[in-house]
Structure 1
Amino acid sequence: MNKNQRSNRLAIMHIASQIDISAYLHYRDVLQDIYEKLKAEQGSYNYKRYSEDLGLSFSNVIWLYVSKKRRMTLKTAEKTFKALGLSGDRKKFAENMVRLETIKIHEKREKIYADLFQLKTKMSAPENQKHLEFYSQWFFPALREIVQVNPKLNINEICERFLFKVFPREIEQGLQVLSDLELIKYDKVSKTYRSTKKQIGLDYKTSAVAAARFHQKSCELASEAVVHVSPEMRELNTLTLALSQADIPEVRRRIIECCRGIFELEEHSRSDQVFQLNIQFFPITDKLDPEVES
């Protein structure tokens, strides 16, 4: 190993040490962000040198990973993450990101999501851990809405109102999480929980795993709703259409506007039921006329 390579490896480890690994969902983004920081420091730096500095061959193999042309194996991940100086929970988190991409069996993917979420919570500041826990179960946000609509329902009655199976102990856990976050407050006089005006949102930039897992659970509910919810009570639309990448921002804007409008509707509604709204928009092919990488 020459002096320049030794210097680059130290720089890579330093940059990696400053990165919050748990803020990512894809290992490719970690590798790309580190590369861009190195490139900013050394204008002549390239992917071939980057691959070699990570203990791989002097080739464009890292570019193949970050551009989604090739999947990283766990054996390669072990060598790469060692070069990044990752250890302990940070290394486990990174390895699970690689596993998440290679596992196709639903049950195993759910286990990886759960492990990632647990590691994310463990590595987060104490004040953020309850915030993350709010999104750990699909019924926690729904529970708050139920309390707002009918605070007189007891735990068993709440369980009976859910169309999807939830156990009393889970409701107790949810009420505790909501209380800790001050989203609901226990009224000792009426002996009931009351919702507060406090709101929390999900920071997608730092909680990618929490967002992905919550959306995954919501999609599973939508799948079950096809069977368990009568057609007149649901609207599940599916469009398969051809668009350009230039159209994506406009589609996203319209979806956001749609959600905002429906959310405003809630403010004037005499609510008597809790609903889940999922709008899913994502590509199912790569670009059909890919540009040739020089």
Structure 2
Amino acid sequence: MARRRAAEISVYDYLDHRAFLGDYYVAQKERGRGFSYRLFSRRAGLRSPNHLKLVIEGQRRLTAEMAVRYAAAMKLPDDESAYFLDLVAFNHARTPAERADTYQRLTGHRGYRKAQTLDQRHAAYYSQWYIPAIREMAMLPGFRGEPGWIAERMVPPITREQAASALETLVALSLLTKHEDGTLAPAEWVVKTEDATRGVHLASYHRVMLERAREALDHLPGTTRNLSAITLCTSAAGYERIVERVKRFRQELITLASLEDEGTHVVHVGVQIFPLTRPPEAA
């Protein structure tokens, strides 16, 4: 993220507290009032004169208690202070559940909803199964970017409102391009998300697609789906070989799809690998 001038600094523009603190420090220095790491430490009641520097550089972890001191030293208003504390907690969350919980707190701030519109689009893209599907649907011959036309062709069907919202998200993320005549066409094929939130969004995507797999098992005829699984006994090295083989398989599928003259419908292919027992050293 490029450095911002002092007047432009807002904690709501950040999904990484270290990036915010780095820009905050530069902004304060630009004001020419003798600001320094030592001065900040005095304001925060810290003994270490370069505590802020170490946090910015990732050499020291900002604890919840220290985050409160930092917010006070920066004289953040109550709402911005609360967002900063939640941001620190989010960046330090260790488990998927913790990250999901702290991310939910971040998105609850009004300032986040005003500043992080792109991240909200990413969250929508990964949390609604039909948005990636519509992105692929745009490759079909005769595709019509009309909410009603799209909605009735989804399995299961979605509402016109959902289809319209999905189209808005895809255009906002530059995944679909709107021409002057109003028609839509595929555009950028790489979804670029912030490093800080990528893990949360991808976890959301996998959850929603696993739920779709369950629904397909219960409601779709066997002739229209293919579900298979295998349980194996393997070593750590064997596990890595399996993962690498799956990566190559995914690339093969992408190549096969690219060789198609014309697609007819959109499918989802999912592969999950997870342990059912603990390895000896963890038992």
Regarding TM over 0.5, the answer is: yes
Letter in 2 for 1:200: V
Aligned to 2:268: 276
The higher relative CO (CA closer than 8 Å, separation ≥ 6) is in: 1
Instruction: Tell me: CA distance 1:100–1:173, structure 2 relative to 1, closer, same or farther (3 Å).
Output: same
Aligned to 2:246: 255
Aligned to 1:209: 200
Identity percentage of aligned residues: 20
Aligned to 2:125: 134
Structure-2 separation of matches of 1:148 and 1:126:
27
Q: Is the 8 A contact 2:129 2:205 kept in 1?
A: yes
Structure-1 separation of matches of 2:86 and 2:244:
36
Structure-1 separation of matches of 2:272 and 2:120:
28
Aligned to 2:160: 168
Aligned to 2:86: 92
Structure-2 separation of matches of 1:253 and 1:133:
30
Letter in 1 for 2:238: D
Aligned to 1:218: 209
Cα offsets for 1:188-210 (capped at 9, x unmatched) = 44x432223x2223558531111
Aligned to 1:230: 221
Letter in 1 for 2:107: Q
Q: Is the 8 A contact 1:116 1:209 kept in 2?
A: no
Instruction: Tell me: CA distance 1:153–1:200, structure 2 relative to 1, closer, same or farther (3 Å).
Output: closer
Cα offsets for 1:63-114 (capped at 9, x unmatched) = xxxxxxxxxxxxxxxxx62245485234335379589648xxxxxx98x487
Superposed CA RMSD in Å reads 3.8
Under a length normalisation based on structure 1, what TM-score does the superposition of the two structures give? 0.60
Aligned to 1:177: 169
Cα offsets for 1:200-234 (capped at 9, x unmatched) = 23558531111111111111111111112222222
Aligned length: 220
Structure-2 separation of matches of 1:183 and 1:253:
28
Task: Give the drift of 1:156.
Answer: 1.8
Instruction: Tell me: CA distance 1:170–1:126, structure 2 relative to 1, closer, same or farther (3 Å).
Output: closer
Q: Is the 8 A contact 1:117 1:209 kept in 2?
A: no
Under a length normalisation based on structure 2, what TM-score does the superposition of the two structures give? 0.62
Segments of structure 1 that go 5 or more residues without pairing to the other structure are: 1-5, 20-33, 39-49, 55-79, 103-108
Query: Which residues of 2 match residues 46-57 of structure 1 at below 5 A?
Result: none
Structure-1 separation of matches of 2:210 and 2:230:
16
Letter in 1 for 2:175: L
Segments of structure 2 that go 5 or more residues without pairing to the other structure are: 1-45, 72-80
SS of residue in 2 equivalent to 1:161: coil
